Amino acid sequence: MTPRISVITLGVTDLVRSRRFYIDGLGWKASSTSDEHVVFIDLGGIVLGLYPRDLLAKDATLVPGTGFGGVTLAQNMKSKAEVDAALRDAVEAGATLLKPAADTFWGGYSGYFADPDGHPWEVAFNPFWGLDEAGRVLLPG
């Protein structure tokens, strides 16, 4: 199998609220294929889907649970200042600040916020990774 992620779908409890957070609050753009049942957002080659949590669980034949699911999403930035600005923008859009940005043990800088459904997002600056013009991570060889 080719190593690749095409779509990350978040199960949300209120699709209207989540659309408002990501589209109106964070200023991300919904695809024209979005409708009242699902939202698709282009994340620079990876699609973020927003879909009702109960329907997503049913589709995957899972029982919805509560609490930390063992997954975080992350966005890398070009500087510490960009990390601070992104966290501030997320909180202003309705996110909950989980961890203020700070220097990390591995030599970077990061903080966390949770979207309205509690999905944790890390916003980080990693001085050991580059970013291309589109903001995609350039891992060292």
Convert the pLDDT of each residue in 10-51 to its tens digit: 999 999 999 999 999 999 999 998 999 999 999 988 999 999
Tell whether 46 and 89 lie within a shared domain: no
Both 83 and 110 in a single domain?
yes
- Tell me, yes or no, whether 67 lies in a domain: no
**Cα–Cα distance list, 66 to 4, 95, 117 (Å):** 28, 18, 11
Distance between alpha carbon 55 and the CA centroid of its chain, in Å?
20
Residue 89 domain boundaries: 73-138
Question: What percentage of the chain carries pLDDT values higher than 70?
Answer: 97
Please count the structural domains in the chain: 2
The structure's pTM equals 0.86
Strand partners, 115: none
DSSP string spanning 68-89? --S--EEEEESSHHHHHHHHHH
Question: Residues 78, 134: one domain?
Answer: yes
Distance between first and last Cα of the chain: 21
